Amino acid sequence: MFTSLGVIAPVIAIIATGFLAALFGLFSAQQVATMNRIVFLIAAPALLFRNVVLTQIPELIPGVCSFPITAPCLSVSRCR
């Protein structure tokens, strides 16, 4: 329970901070558009790439041998 809360709480806090900033008009429309472009074009892809690189396949599928999953991945990467 607390593990889920530890993961979700920072996301909710960031959303609430953005909502309050918009509610009080801290940023102009141009600034919001620029921040959106930075997040969608740079920050989100970088975060996704980092998470994919750091995730180990046995974490995703506990109790399953990772060889049947990683062998096809390695063979495909060698063909290119």
pLDDT tens digits along 6-64:
888 888 999 999 899 989 999 999 999 999 999 999 999 998 898 888 877 665 565 55
* Structural domain of 30: 2-79
pLDDT value at position 16? 94
Question: Is 70:57 a contact under the CB 8 Å cutoff?
Answer: yes
Which has more confidence, 77 or 35?
35
pLDDT tens digits along 1-16:
677 888 888 889 999 9
Q: How many structural domains comprise the chain?
A: 1
